[in-house]
Copies of this chain bind each other. A is one copy, B any other.
């Protein structure tokens, strides 16, 4: 089935305790599209300014990513982010942000994309996510990411959005803030009461937990990574693997969602093994399936 993503394209500068990478390609829509395209064609919706040094057509060459939703605004500048990861590689500090085009009107969803069935709205202001969602005719399954900034400052917008979506993918700490509940299982259940039928809380190197309104629970550890070079994009790669697999199968039952979470976990593990997209460019679907089987073996008893 068709899969659409809306999200950012970023120029990232990343520092870790071991290395630095300046002005590399990043952004939620980029990581999502790269990972989801291993499973399903992707319809890409996002905005850059005329300063963007990356040719996305070249970045996605040979991959089934439809860039007709990429808007280049001549008078605007591309989103920039600089961050530093600390020793455990799970915590990070934002050093610098220039929202630039992300502070302007959201991109237009092309007419050819309006019939999309699976939709991922990457993290941005919930009011913009809602405006993007309104441009899709009748989506089958809508997943959304958000962050503490919106929870704390635009809670009304976010709760309005939650009533209209199927799945919220959220960091564990943000889930606790959104639900005002320290216990993660209880927090996730409380968010289910706000609208989505599925909530997936991401716990970084501790894995993830997924619950649905039928009371089903799925818990999965992260893939045990020996070399983490750059965790940037892990969450969007997780979402890309997840939604890519769902769109490929066309199903959203809990058993399919479990497999999709495992694929998301696998894709995130490839992303964090190198800077920017470097951990993803040299792999193929066989590598992904092989690590999926390894993860299955490592977690089964």
Shortest distance from the beta carbon of A62 to any chain B beta carbon, whole Å: 30
- In this assembly, does A296 line the interface, its C-beta being within 8 Å of a C-beta of chain B? yes
- Does chain B have a CB within 8 A of A184? yes
Whether the pair B183, A220 counts as a contact (CB closer than 8 A) is no
Q: Which residues of B contact A220 (CB under 8 A)?
A: 221, 299, 301
Contacting residues, chain B, for A227 (C-beta < 8 A): 183
Residue of B nearest to A184 (CB): B224
Number of copies: 2
A residues with a Cβ closer than 8 A to B are: 87-88, 182-186, 203, 205-207, 209, 217-221, 224-228, 255, 258-259, 261-262, 296, 298-301
Chosen A-B contacts, 24 in total, with CB atoms closer than 8 Å, are A88-B182, A183-B226, A183-B227, A184-B205, A184-B224, A185-B224, A185-B225, A185-B226, A203-B206, A206-B207, A206-B221, A217-B298, A218-B298, A218-B301, A220-B221, A220-B301, A221-B221, A255-B301, A258-B300, A258-B301, A262-B301, A299-B299, A299-B300, A299-B301
